């Protein structure tokens, strides 16, 4: 289960690293990928970063987290309990399971993942006692949540040139209303599904220019990878129309990851 951290309680260092993850997500968006990016940080230095590459390689397993992990493990063998992952969207069930298996210490994310979230939105992978073969890890959400949501909405407004049947999207309008996170008394998100709470208007700069990091260590790994469609029709992001965006399947916990090419980028 994740803990929602209100903006006034968020650490400036965590926010700075989340900016790095947003920078990777912006790069994914510029390459017609679902805009999810991540950065792995150890001892105040970025040791790997990645973005979604699922469309580029026709591979549903190329989420940002897994892309980074592949490059991390040779030089940083598990457990990775001294490492923090910053990712723009709550890890899906597959990624949340992988993070637990490598012994990650902490995960900080932007917006929740109501359809595939593995840190409490759908399944409590990160801290469930039923998965006692691997240590639990801390998960905290809400860091630049609005920016992460807007990035995803911008993606679903864009035209997919590789779609079998391109959809007309010229009339679609970017929604900037974002509902607050309903939480319990201890800041645990009770649900990321729509509630009766009226959405609040937020002034969000679109597009948001996120500066390239000056904090990146010269010895760190810059993967420039990507993450799969972790979010899609998440009510937190907001469906763009009545048609559901097709999602890539989720690998069940404990299954073997097979690099089976997809027939093509899905819209």
Q: Catalytic residues, which ones?
A: 65
Structure tokens at 17: 């690293």
Secondary structure E strands in the chain:
3-4, 37-42, 45-51, 83-89, 106-111, 138-141, 221-222
Chain centroid, CA 219 distance in Å: 25
Q: Rounded to whole angstroms, how far apart are CA atoms 60 and 138?
A: 26
C-alpha distances (whole Å) from 231 to each of 24, 105, 228 are 16, 24, 9
Cα torsion at 209, 91, 43, 50 (round to 10°)?
Answer: -50
Cα torsion at 229, 230, 236, 237 (round to 10°)?
Answer: -20
DSSP string over 153-210: HHHHHS--TT-SSPPP-TT------BPPPPB-TTS-BS-SS--SSPPBP----SS---
Q: Are 237 and 36 in contact (CB under 8 A)?
A: no
């Amino acid at each position: 289960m994740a803990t929602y951290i209100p903006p006034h309680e968020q650490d400036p260092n965590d926010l700075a690293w989340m900016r790095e993850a947003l920078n990777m997500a912006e790069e994914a968006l510029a390459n017609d990928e679902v805009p999810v990016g991540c950065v792995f940080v150890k001892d105040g230095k970025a040791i790997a970063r990645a973005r979604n590459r699922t469309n580029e390689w026709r591979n549903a397993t190329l989420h940002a987290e897994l892309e980074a992990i592949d490059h991390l493990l040779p030089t940083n063998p598990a457990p990775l309990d001294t490492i923090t992952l910053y990712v723009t969207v709550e890890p899906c069930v597959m990624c949340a399971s992988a993070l637990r298996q490598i012994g990650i210490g902490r995960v900080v994310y932007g917006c929740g993942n109501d359809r595939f979230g593995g840190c409490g939105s759908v399944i409590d992978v990160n801290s469930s006692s039923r998965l006692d073969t691997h240590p639990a890890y801390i998960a905290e959400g809400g860091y630049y949540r609005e920016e992460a949501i807007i990035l995803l909405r911008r993606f679903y407004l864009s035209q997919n040139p590789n779609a079998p049947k391109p959809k007309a999207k010229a009339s679609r309008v970017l929604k900037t209303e974002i509902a607050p996170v309903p939480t319990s008394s201890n800041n645990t998100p009770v649900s990321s599904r729509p509630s009766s709470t009226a959405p609040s208007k937020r002034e969000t700069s679109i597009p948001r220019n996120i500066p390239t990091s000056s904090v990146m260590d010269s010895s760190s790994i810059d993967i420039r990878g990507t993450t799969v469609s972790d979010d899609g029709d998440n009510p937190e992001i907001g469906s763009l129309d009545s048609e559901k965006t097709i999602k890539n399947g989720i690998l069940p916990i404990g299954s073997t990851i097979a690099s089976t090419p997809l027939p093509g980028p899905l819209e």
